[in-house]
Structure 1
Amino acid sequence: MGATLMATTSILLCSGLAALISSTYSVKKPLNDTVYGAHGEFMVALKYVTLLTMFLFSFFCHSLSIRFINQVNILINTPQDPMSLVTPEYINEILEKGFILNTVGNRLFYTGLPILLWIFGPVLVFLCFLTMVPVLYNLDIVFTSGKGKMMEVKENSDFIV
């Protein structure tokens, strides 16, 4: 469900950005040239195209993740046959591919926020990265109480590595 929601959000943002890029209004230049950062015609186009590319790749990764996880849902119910190519290891490999693609898609989607702020200047991008790095770090690392051992947890999964 999460991958479907993120894929839908990514493609909706791509549609909005494509409409914004193709428009003739002055919305493309949100700030004047007195703010830090380049706001020339080429740089504004580069910023929007970069943002559009990030969301398109995020959509692509989430769509593939949905495909792999759906395939696992079908293959997990097949009876085990010694001559079959469908083994538990193969199903585990497909499931891991789905989770990795979901994680990559989420990272690309999260990277869209600093790219979006890049439109307004470099200071907001720097502040956004300063806050995003600790947040993303805390999403990936879980400290357990008790013995104080550190365990890494894959994002959006219940498997502890």
Structure 2
Amino acid sequence: MAWKKSYLDLILVPLGLSVMLAYHMWLWNKVRTKPLSTVIGTNAIGRRLWVSSIMKDNDKKNILAVQTLRNTIMGATLMATTSILLCCGLAAVISSTYSLKKPLNDSVYGAHGEFMVALKYVTLLLIFLFSFLCHSLSIRFINQVNFLINCPPDDNVHNPIICPEYVSQLLERGFTLNTVGNRIFYAALPVLLWIFGPALVFLCSLTLVPVLYNLDVVFGNELADSNYKGKMQGNENREEGVTRV
């Protein structure tokens, strides 16, 4: 059987994207099991403590809370705007009558037929659309936190309606969606290089993984992570004891 140029796309592109997917599955498991060994988990714990501190001393820190959340919303808005603008540009390219594959026939390794070119641009369009969706939902949750974090304390101390735990959950949902939107946006880089050949997708994925690893992992924090897990287990046991009583 003769070797076809499309075989490079069938092998290298899924392999490169699988490397990225495997890394983020490992990171997700690390955040769940050892949160203090990752930047995402450490920041999540810090935000939980920040919400509790703001709501306990709301009279003095309400302006600080609003300004901090406003900066976060501005960052998510910038990413959402960038994603939707790129979607509009790609939609215009896809719908244009100009044949995009002709200038690339002699310079691209792998398949470069009309179907393959359309597949590349549609994949990019979907990636940016999902990134826009995640950032839009992130803005929604953070806007809710912007209102709830300045709510006056409830008289029912034992079962408050608006408690720091609830506000922390909303804030974490917003930041989780923001992180997912950013990671989807990063995944567009290998797919963008796919226009020029499948080998670049694989090489870009192999390059991004160690870069993201150094940005996501907190080195030398194993002791703090074990202490945090022990503290959390102690708090759970104490809460179970109080519930039983």
TM range, smaller chain: 0.7 to 0.9
CA shift digits 1:118-141 (9 cap, x unpaired)? 111111111111111111112211
The 3-state SS of whatever aligns with 2:100 is helix
Q: Structure 1 residues 29 and 50, CA, compared in 2 at 3 Å: closer, same or farther?
A: farther
RMSD, aligned CA? 1.9
| CA distance in structure 2 between the aligned counterparts of 1:106 and 1:64, rounded to whole angstroms | 13
Q: Deviations over 1:15-47 (max 9, x none)?
A: 000000000113355510663211111111111
TM-score normalised to the size of structure 1?
0.84
Q: Which has the larger share of helix?
A: 2
Partner of 2:193: 117
2:98 to 6, 20, 25: 25
The equivalent position to 2:89 in structure 1, one of 16, 32, 41, is: 16
The 5-angstrom pairing of residues 121-140 of structure 1 reads: 121-140=197-216
Match of 2:137 among 32, 57, 64: 64
Whole-angstrom distance in 2 between the partners of 1:51 and 1:8: 16
Unpaired runs of 5+ in structure 2? 1-73, 226-245
Cα separation, 1, equivalents of 2:89 and 2:108: 25
Q: Give the structure 2 partner of residue 50 of structure 1.
A: 123
Instruction: Judge which range, 29-38 or 71-80, deviates more.
Output: 29-38
Any idea what SS the aligned residue of 2:196 has? coil
Kept in 1: contact 2:101–2:114 (CA 8 A): no
Distance 1:75 1:29 in 2: 56
* Structure 1 segments of 4+ aligned residues over 2 angstroms from their partners: 26-30, 82-85, 148-152
Three-state SS of the structure 2 residue aligned to 1:62 is helix
Tell me whether 77-86 or 51-60 shows the greater mean CA deviation.
77-86
Structure 1 distance, partners of 2:144, 2:188, is: 29
Aligned position for 1:4:
77
- Which structure: larger Rg? 2
Q: Residues 45 and 75 of structure 1: is their aligned pair in 2 closer, same or farther, counting only changes over 3 Å?
A: same
The reply on whether 1:149 has 2:221 as its aligned counterpart is: yes
Output the CA distance in 1 between the equivalents of 2:102 and 2:151: 56
Aligned-residue offset at 1:2: 1.6
Q: Which runs of 5+ in 1 are unaligned?
A: 153-161
Aligned AA for 1:111? A
Q: Distance in 2 between matches of 1:72 and 1:99?
A: 11
Choose between structure 1 and 2 for higher RCO, CA contacts under 8 A separated by at least 6 residues: 2
